[in-house]
Structure 1
Amino acid sequence: MLYWALIFFVVAVIAGLFGFGGIAAASSGVAQILFVLFLVLFLATLVIRLVRGTW
């Protein structure tokens, strides 16, 4: 999921450089959502592993 967030970020940067504002804004929004989702899932997995004692 972090991979996809980075891909959308790169697309947003490239689109911004070429002046495609709408595509850059959409890609940036998707990248932000995916990054936050990745962080939430990572933290949830970390907490579950610590509670179960499998670390």
Structure 2
Amino acid sequence: MLGWAITFLIIALIAAVFGFGGVAGTAAGIAKIIFFIFVVLLVVSLIANAIRGKGPGV
């Protein structure tokens, strides 16, 4: 999911360089939403693993 956020960020940067403001803004907004979803899922996963008592890689 983080890969998708980075992809949309790159699309936004390229669109901004070429002057496509609407496309750049939309891609940046999508990248931001996907990034925050990734962060929330990461935190939920870390909390779930801590509750279950298993360490990473076990």
The TM-score by the shorter chain falls in which range? over 0.9
Name stretches of at least 5 consecutive residues in structure 2 with no aligned partner: none
RMSD: 0.3
TM-score after normalising by structure 1: 0.99
Structure with bigger gyration radius: 2
For structure 1, the residue ranges without an aligned partner over 5 or more in a row are none
Normalising by structure 2, we get a TM-score of 0.94
The separation in 2 between residues aligned to 1:8 and 1:27, in whole angstroms, is: 5
Aligned pairs (5 A) from 1:38-53: 38-53=38-53
Structure with greater proportional helix content: 1
Task: Verify: 1:16 aligned to 2:22, yes or no.
Answer: no
- Structure 1 ranges of 4+ moved more than 4 A: none
